[in-house]
Amino acid sequence: MIEGKSNFIFDAIKQAISNKEKLLSILIDPDKFDLSKSETFLNRIPASTNYLFVGGSQVENGQTELVVKRLKQFSELPIILFPGDINQITNKADAILFLSLLSGRNPEYLINQQVKSISKLQHSSLEIIPTGYILVDGGVSTSVLKISQTRAISQDRISEVIHTALAGQFSGKQLIYLEAGSGAKFPVSAEIISEVKKNISIPLIVGGGIRNNLQKQTAHQAGADMVVMGNAFEMP
């Protein structure tokens, strides 16, 4: 963590896990979000929501900040950036997942985008949370895969997912995020979640393809500390 920046949100996540609480975040894609329906959207999400994630694969420059500012008008939930690129960084949010796409092996998303972001982050007030981001095959070719020019790890290759997660932990990541991708036909399997959770000692986030309460509960019961849902709450 950069000296002088708070770690309030990360500490709250760790405390919740220590208390055996299961966390829920709702992911908002700024490119698909209707600003005029912000209050309606927030009224639709579960009362158990702990955080709002904001970000997408491709977002028009400046749109993320507009969405964050609008959400702040109607909600006191902490807003965490989940950026697809450096243009989605805004100081109006509370924190940012400082993502490294560990599954893809593409240097642009392992380190190059991160280096490019420093001029925006070094003197910002955002809480920066180093996060190992691992794409697991959800049965569709997602926009993240197309943009990053990478492949997701097959759900049959459980050892590779575990080793990738451990590589992230050993390199200093504070969170591991298993992602099946937006619009996934099926979410990350309970077996993968369970095995990864058994092997790492840092918080585990799971998202992609989780559309209903049963899928959310399954992910939580398998070992996910935080579940991320998105498409289920997108506005028509």
> 28: domain CATH number?
3.20.20.390
- The binding site for Mg(2+) consists of 29, 57
Which pTM was predicted?
Answer: 0.94
pLDDT digits (tens, 9 = 90+) for 202-231: 999 999 999 999 999 999 999 999 999 987
Considering the domain boundaries, does residue 159 fall inside one?
yes
- Cα–Cα distance for residue pair 192/69, rounded to 1 Å: 36
Nearest to 210 by CA among 221, 196, 197, 199: 221
Considering the domain boundaries, does residue 235 fall inside one?
no
| 60: Cα separation from own chain's centroid | 19
- The binding site for sn-glycerol 1-phosphate consists of 177-183, 208-209, 230-231
- Cα–Cα distance for residue pair 37/159, rounded to 1 Å: 43
Considering the domain boundaries, does residue 236 fall inside one?
no
Coil, strand, or helix at residue 19? coil
- The binding site consists of 29, 57, 177-183, 208-209, 230-231
Please state the domain count of the chain: 1
Range of the domain at 188: 8-229
pLDDT digits (tens, 9 = 90+) for 71-118: 999 999 999 999 999 999 999 999 999 999 999 889 999 999 999 999
